[in-house]
């Protein structure tokens, strides 16, 4: 295993939640964030293998995920509905350099509260937090819930769509609302 592959594995194991939080913060869509972050990791394997690990690997992954989100939004057939998001991401990419080491504990908490929104049933909330915040694979979550992997994958997709469809905000709720989410 190459140094770049080892570094990437280490980043994914240690910082999945931080990376995911940063990407969800920027693109406001958990499902899309997972997809573009996975694409960014795939790109990192190729790019880092040829050019070496960049000085700021976290920032590189976040920026690459943002750009992949822009590419997906451009390809979206409903471009008019996505135009505001597209403009936001383009402006964000133009003006904001990702931090070399993002200090995003609050964003991780916001991601957790978003995944644990009361619009979802309790089982979906727990599974979504395990997958999105902790980076636990769907197969492991399915095993813990004693269901088939395909069934768990579908539950997770439905939960992400429900969050997007309900317009659940990506923020930390007021403390008096924490009990219903924890």
Query: pLDDT grade, residue 110 (50/70/90)?
Result: confident
The Cβ of residue 99 has, within 10 Å, a number of other Cβ atoms equal to 13
What is the arithmetic mean of pLDDT over 32-39?
94
Crossing angle of the two packed helices 57-75 and 30-51, in degrees rounded to 10 = 120
Q: How far apart are CA 102 and CA 180, in angstroms?
A: 29
Structure tokens at 115: 């995944």
User: Hey, what domains does the chain have and what are their CATH numbers?
Assistant: 3-95 (no CATH), 105-177 (1.10.10)
Mind listing the pLDDT tens digit for each residue in 135-158? 999 999 999 999 999 999 999 999
Predicted local distance difference test score (pLDDT) of residue 107: 83
SS3 content of the chain, % helix, strand, coil (to 5): 75, 0, 25
Q: How far apart are CA 148 and CA 110, in angstroms?
A: 29
Give the best-scoring range by mean pLDDT among 22-31, 69-78, 104-113: 22-31
pTM above 0.85, yes or no: no
Predicted local distance difference test score (pLDDT) of residue 96: 66
Residues of the chain above pLDDT 90, percent: 47
């Amino acid at each position: 295993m190459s140094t770049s592959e080892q570094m990437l594995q280490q980043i994914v194991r240690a910082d999945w939640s931080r990376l995911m939080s940063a990407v969800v913060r920027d693109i406001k869509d958990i499902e899309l964030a997972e997809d573009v972050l996975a694409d960014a990791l795939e790109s990192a394997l190729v790019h880092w293998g040829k050019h070496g690990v960049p000085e700021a690997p976290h920032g590189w992954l976040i920026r690459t995920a943002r750009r992949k989100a822009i590419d997906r939004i451009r390809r979206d057939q409903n471009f008019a509905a996505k135009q505001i998001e597209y403009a936001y991401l383009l402006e964000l990419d133009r003006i904001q350099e990702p931090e070399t080491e993002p200090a995003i504990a609050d964003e991780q908490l916001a991601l957790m509260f978003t995944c644990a929104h009361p619009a979802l049933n309790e089982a979906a909330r727990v599974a979504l937090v395990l997958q999105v915040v902790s980076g636990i694979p769907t197969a492991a979550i399915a095993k813990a819930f004693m269901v088939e992997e395909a069934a768990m994958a579908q539950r997770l997709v439905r939960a992400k769509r429900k969050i997007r469809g309900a317009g659940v905000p990506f923020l930390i709720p007021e403390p008096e609302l924490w009990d219903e989410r924890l």
